[in-house]
Structure 1
Amino acid sequence: MIERDGDVTQASIRHAIAALGVDLGPDVLNQCRALFDAEQSALQAQVPASAMDIAYGPHERHRLDLYRPAADGSAPILVFVHGGGFLKGDKGGASDWPNANVGRMAAQAGFLGVVVNYRLAPDNVWPAGAEDVAAVITWLKANGARHGGDPDRIVLMGTSAGAVHVAGYLRLAGAGDVRAAILLSGLYGYTPLDQRDTLYYGDPALYPDRMPLEAVAATSLPLLVACAEFDPPRFQAEFLGLMQDRIARHGAMPRALILSGHNHYTLPMHLGTADRRLSQEIYAFVRETTA
């Protein structure tokens, strides 16, 4: 287990992440969390949620937390959809900082941060995730202003399976109700499904066109796409496939970056910490697309 204390520098964190390689799994996830526990736990007390476990639909997983910025007024809304390989994951909260940190980061930047749960596979299959993102948008259109957000300035953001559900939303609902999308380490359809994916999508022989490739490749919605230096090869291949497809279709890549010194788990986990490279990109992108 890798432990973190107040004297650990960003360089040593990056070294520890590099030593973990590109593997995924509970042990790697726990080691990644340990690297940021001290800093994120301290920040958690500074920016608590302004409202928690609000129901946006009838299912027990249809819950969202809000992180309101300090300034009054109508703020851009940044919606974050967590990862978990379609089968697990949680928005976090007062005693569990992963994923909640993204809502806090949004509030610190002057946005209304919204962190959501959604229905999980295998009990809930395609297109449940995209439908749940659509339900969140519908809720925000009706209620966001009451919580200090501007319902006409919504940016969607997802990581891993959450990025897939954001992309799936673009396929399901189009781009009319949101200003932009941020996709971290997603799977869009450039590589074959694995067994875990089929628990959400079903048999690829029967349903070969359920991945959201076309929606992401073709959309005119502004995109910020990122992957990590130590993402597993499949996620890196997906990132490169999307870049190539966008060039072929649009003559240019979307706004994009490969974040050095991070892996699949730490890409969202580190947001809000002293490593501000990705957060600054997100801040600038949200401000530009919601101006």
Structure 2
Amino acid sequence: MTDPIAAFGTRLGPDVVAAMRALYQDEQAGHAAASKPVAADCAYGPHGRNSLDLYRQGKGAGLLPVLLFVHGGGFLVGDKGSHADEQDGWVNAHVGRWAAANGMLGAVMNYRLAPAETWPAGAEDVSAAVDWLRAHASAYGGDPDRIVLVGTSAGAVHVSGFLKLRPDHGAMVRGAVLLSGLYGFTPLDERDVLYYGPPDTYADRMPMAAAVQTALPLLVACAQFDPPRFQAEWTGLLQARLDRHGSLPRAHYASGHNHYSLAMHLGTRDHRLADEIRAFVRQHTL
């Protein structure tokens, strides 16, 4: 039988996205039908895309750790998912539902997109969402002092950018999970320029130094079928962290997955990455 993920190799593109969505459609749509947000389209800032949804299961005593998910989309596209459309809107919302099913308050955010909005808009929006959660999470059963960030692809870039913009990030969040991000270890490409601007500004704007230097706990992951550039970014960050700190951060290599399935499969029967994230959150939110 042909492996539907391996068959695409390391290619990126809308056809691969569609195939991965179809691969997980039945399982993830079932979760969507069973779990609605406790709050939808919460405005964390003035822009139309400054909104987030919150997911929680049950009303037990005590405040829960908060997991904030930042979607990917190459800086140009992406959405937190539709809380009203169970069949087609589960992508990205599924991470909030997974967090809720695992004893957390799940938050899934939108952010401003390029080319209309350029650097550091994404990082600023992550910062504003964290500020909003610290002010409001307790009203929905979340602990504002136990926030963990998870970003995939461009979302991982924006989480890293938050580390760069906010020197006080260690007092604001407990940890960060970076899935297949770009941190500045490889050359700029055309899509990056639409967000970062001219190449002569690239070095100053990429979040490499912050991702390397931060004392914040990190979980850094990439996929077996990530394009070579993303794999080089992963290995580059690991090596730079080893050189800087004398030890590696927590890391995960997702065998059998590609750039899109890495985040899209969270909450499915393949729970290897989910187990890593859950253990990371528990370790740093006790």
Q: TM-score, normalised by structure 2?
A: 0.96
Residue matched to 1:87? 76
Cα deviation per residue 1:23-61 (whole Å; 9 max; x = unaligned)? 001011101110000010011111211111111111000
Residue matched to 1:229? 224
CA distance in structure 2 between the aligned counterparts of 1:71 and 1:232, rounded to whole angstroms: 42
Residue matched to 2:198? 203
Residue matched to 2:265? 270
Which of 130, 145, 150 does residue 152 from structure 1 map onto?
Answer: 145
Cα deviation per residue 1:266-291 (whole Å; 9 max; x = unaligned)? 00100001111000111110011000
- Give the CA deviation at 1:188: 0.3
Q: Tell me if the contact between 1:133 and 1:166 (Cα under 8 Å) persists in the aligned partners.
A: yes
Residue matched to 2:284? 289
Residue matched to 1:66? 54
Which of 42, 45, 59 does residue 54 from structure 1 map onto?
Answer: 42
CA distance in structure 2 between the aligned counterparts of 1:122 and 1:229, rounded to whole angstroms: 30
Equivalent residue letter for 1:100: A
- Give the CA deviation at 1:208: 2.8
Q: TM-score, normalised by structure 1?
A: 0.94
Q: Tell me if the contact between 1:78 and 1:114 (Cα under 8 Å) persists in the aligned partners.
A: yes
Residue matched to 2:172? 177
Cα deviation per residue 1:186-214 (whole Å; 9 max; x = unaligned)? 00000011010000000112443110000
Correspondence 1:98-247 to 2 at 5 A: 98-174=91-167, 175=169, 176-247=171-242
- Aligned partner of residue 164 in structure 2, secondary structure: helix
- Greater Cα offset, 144-153 or 41-50: 41-50
CA distance in structure 2 between the aligned counterparts of 1:140 and 1:54, rounded to whole angstroms: 10
Aligned-CA RMSD value: 1.0
- Aligned residue-pair number: 279
Equivalent residue letter for 2:15: D
CA distance in structure 2 between the aligned counterparts of 1:246 and 1:170, rounded to whole angstroms: 15
Q: Tell me if the contact between 1:74 and 1:145 (Cα under 8 Å) persists in the aligned partners.
A: yes
Equivalent residue letter for 1:85: G
Equivalent residue letter for 1:70: G
CA distance in structure 1 between the aligned counterparts of 2:8 and 2:36, rounded to whole angstroms: 31
CA distance in structure 2 between the aligned counterparts of 1:161 and 1:84, rounded to whole angstroms: 6
- Aligned partner of residue 136 in structure 1, secondary structure: helix
Which structure 2 residue ranges, 5 or more long, are not aligned? none
- Give the CA deviation at 1:71: 4.4
- Aligned partner of residue 200 in structure 1, secondary structure: helix
- Give the CA deviation at 1:141: 1.1
Q: Tell me if the contact between 1:70 and 1:110 (Cα under 8 Å) persists in the aligned partners.
A: no
Which structure 1 residue ranges, 5 or more long, are not aligned? 1-11
CA distance in structure 2 between the aligned counterparts of 1:206 and 1:85, rounded to whole angstroms: 19
